Amino acid sequence: MADGTIADLRQLKRARTAVAAVFCVHGAVTGSFATRIPWIQDHAGVSAGQLGLALAFPALGASVAMPLAGAISHRFGARAALRGLLALWTLSLILPSFAPNLPALCAALFAFGASAGMSDVAMNALGVETENRLDRSIMSGLHGMWSVGALVGSAGGTLAAHLGSDARPHHALAAIVLTALGLIACQGVLDLRSTPDEEPPPRFTLPPRSALVIGAVGFCAVFAEGASLDWSAVYLRDILDTSPGLAAASTTAFALTMAVARLAGDRIVDRFGPVHTVRVGGVVATAGGVLVVAAPRPGVAMLGFAFIGLGVAVVVPLAFAAAGRSGPNPSQAIAGVATITYTSGLIAPSAIGAVADATSLIVSFGLVTALAFGLVVGAGVLRTAGRESAKASPAGAAVPDPRP
C-alpha cells in the first residue's frame, strides 16, 4: 500500500472519530435540555398545555432553518460551517432556562430548534461523505454516538435536578463545556469546499423527490420511535396496571436498546446491505408492535417495546445516508429527509394521544404496528448509489452500489 494511501486512510479514520465526537456533543445538548424541562416549566409559569405548545417550536424552528445549512456550507466550507452551527446549537442551550413566560419560551425554543436542525444537517452531510470515502457503513454508529451523548447529557441533568440545582447555571456551564468540546471535535472533520464554478444551493427549496420517498421510510421509523419513547411508560401503567417505577424503566430500556443497536448496526449493514437490514428490522419492529398490542403481562409489552427499538434503530441513519447519495446536492436531500423525520417526531406523540382519546392506547399502538410494517414495504428505496465519492470528482459523483 502506498504511503499516500496509508496517510489518506489515517486522515479518514481521524475524520470519522471527529464526526462521531460531534454527534456525541450534539446529543448531549438534547439530553441536558430534556431533563430540566420540569424546572423550565415552573420558571416560565406555564401549564401543561402551554408547555406542549412551546415544545412544538423546536421542530418548527428546525424545519424552517434546515434548508439554510446547504447554503452556509457552500459559502464557508463544510468544516467552518459545522464549527459555527454546532457552536450556535450548544450555546442555545442557555436560552430556554432564562425564558420568564410563554412567549419568551416559544421564541427561545424556536431558536433552539433552528440551530439544532442546521447543525444536524451539516454533521449528517459530513458523516455521509466520510462514509462514502471509507467505503463502509458508519452512519448507524454515528447516530449511536448521538444516543450516547444524549444519555450522558441526561445523566448530568438528572444529577443536577436531584441536587435541586437552578437550570440557568447548569445549562450555562454545560453550554460552555460542550461548545469547547464541539470546537475541538470540528478541527478533525473533513474540510470540504465547493469548487469555484459550482452553483450555490438555493436558500429555501422544496425537497427533491428522492428525499420525499426516502423520508417516508424515515417517517415510519421516527413515528414508531417517538410513540414508544413518549408513551411506553403510560401504556404499561394504564393498560397493564404496572407500577410507576417499572413503567419508567421500560422507557430507559427502550432508549438503551436504540443506542446499542445503532452502535452495532454498521457491521450488520456492511454485511447485509441497507435494504435487507431495514426490511428485517421492519419485521422485528412489527412483531414488537404485535406483542405490545396483545400483551397480557408487563414483561411481554416491555419485550415488544424493545423489539420496536431494535427494529427501527438503524433506519434514520440509513435514510440520511441514502439521501446523501441520491443526487448531486447531498445537503439539500439530507435537509429534506431531516424535515420529514422532524415532522414525524413532532406529530407522533400528539397523534398517539388523539387516537387514544378517540379509541384506546391499544388502537394507537396498532397504528404504530402498521407504520412499522411500512418499513418492510418501503425498504427498497434505500437502494441508492454507492460510496465511491473518494474516487469520484470533488462534487462527490456517485457510482452504483452492487449491494441491495
At 384 the pLDDT is 57
Distances (CA, A) of 361 to 229, 234, 250, 332: 14, 9, 16, 37
Determine the Cα–Cα distance for residues 259 and 264; give it in Å rounded to an integer: 9
Going by C-alpha positions, the residue among 218, 215, 236, 238 that lies closest to residue 226 is 218
pLDDT-wise least confident of 5-19, 66-80, 303-317, 327-341: 327-341
How confident is residue 404, by pLDDT bands cut at 50, 70 and 90? Answer: very low
pTM (2 d.p.): 0.78
At 151 the pLDDT is 84
How confident is residue 68, by pLDDT bands cut at 50, 70 and 90? Answer: confident
| H or E, element range at 322 | helix 315-324
Residues in the chain: 404
Task: Check: CB of residue 266 under 8 Å from CB of residue 392.
Answer: no
Q: Give the 3-state secondary structure of residue 385.
A: strand
pLDDT digits (tens, 9 = 90+) for 387-401: 433 333 333 333 223
Bridge partners (DSSP) of residue 385 are 400
pLDDT digits (tens, 9 = 90+) for 247-261: 777 777 787 888 889
| H or E, element range at 6 | helix 3-34
Does residue 231 surpass a pLDDT of 90?
Answer: no
At 345 the pLDDT is 79
pLDDT digits (tens, 9 = 90+) for 147-184: 889 888 888 888 888 888 899 999 999 999 999 999 99
Does residue 283 surpass a pLDDT of 90?
Answer: yes
Does residue 3 surpass a pLDDT of 90?
Answer: no
Q: Give the 3-state secondary structure of residue 295.
A: coil
| H or E, element range at 104 | helix 102-134
